[in-house]
C-alpha cells in the first residue's frame, strides 16, 4: 500500500513538473488584437502569438508572427 501511494505521489510530482501552467492573453490596438497563448506543455515550449483583425463577426485574418 505504501509503495502504491508513493508511486501515485511520484507520478503527480513528475506530471506537475513537466506540464507547468497554461494561460492566454489578449491585447487590442486599433482594429487589431494580439492573442498570446501558452499551451502549458514543458513550461510553454509551444508558445504561439497571433495577430487578428477585429470585425463585427469576431476575429478575422489571424496570422502568426505579425506586428499590430
CA dist 47 and 20 (Å) reads: 13
pTM of this prediction?
0.54
Convert the pLDDT of each residue in 1-45 to its tens digit: 888 888 888 887 777 666 555 667 888 888 898 888 776 666 666
CA dist 61 and 46 (Å) reads: 21
CA dist 2 and 16 (Å) reads: 21
Reduced to 3 states (helix: H, G, I; strand: E, B; else coil), residue 36 is strand
Amino acid at each position: 500500500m505504501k509503495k502504491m501511494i508513493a508511486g501515485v505521489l511520484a507520478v503527480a510530482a513528475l506530471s506537475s513538473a513537466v506540464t507547468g501552467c497554461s494561460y492566454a492573453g489578449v491585447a487590442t490596438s486599433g482594429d487589431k488584437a494580439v492573442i498570446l497563448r501558452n499551451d502549458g506543455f514543458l513550461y510553454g515550449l509551444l508558445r504561439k502569438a497571433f495577430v487578428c483583425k477585429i470585425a463585427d463577426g469576431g476575429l478575422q485574418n489571424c496570422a502568426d508572427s505579425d506586428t499590430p
